[in-house]
Amino acid sequence: MSFVAYHKDSTLILRVIRGRNWTEGWFKTESAAKAALTRLEKKGSINADDYRISETAEFHRSIEKTEVVYSIMDKDHSHPITQGVNTPGCCDPSTETYWSM
């Protein structure tokens, strides 16, 4: 079981820096997620009251918001695609990256 920290209004997953790289806010335990929010709030990067913590499967099943996009190959916008707001660009058919891989 893993946990995710997300913005309560937009449901965008918190991005945190680990080492030299930015990574998604996935945590092994709920207490690790709380600690990350506390550290970021003390740095002044975020307001922890704007964020929530949830179990990952529950987040994707019932909390994450969706958006409607159209494939760049769908010129007349006749086939909408519904996807989560946290879908990376490489998996999003509305981006050039998806079609160039």
pLDDT digits (tens, 9 = 90+) for 26-83: 899 999 999 989 988 998 888 999 999 999 999 999 999 999 999 988 989 999 999 9
Mark whether 24 and 72 lie in a shared domain. no
Give this prediction's pTM.
Answer: 0.82
Mark whether 53 and 89 lie in a shared domain. no
Mark whether 55 and 22 lie in a shared domain. yes
Mark whether 57 and 72 lie in a shared domain. no
Mark whether 70 and 88 lie in a shared domain. yes
C-alpha to C-alpha distances, 98 to 32, 43, 53, 67, 93, nearest whole angstrom: 33, 35, 30, 17, 6
- 58: domain range? 3-63
C-alpha to C-alpha distances, 52 to 30, 37, 57, 65, 72, nearest whole angstrom: 11, 9, 15, 14, 34
What's the number of domains the chain is made of? Answer: 2
Mark whether 17 and 53 lie in a shared domain. yes
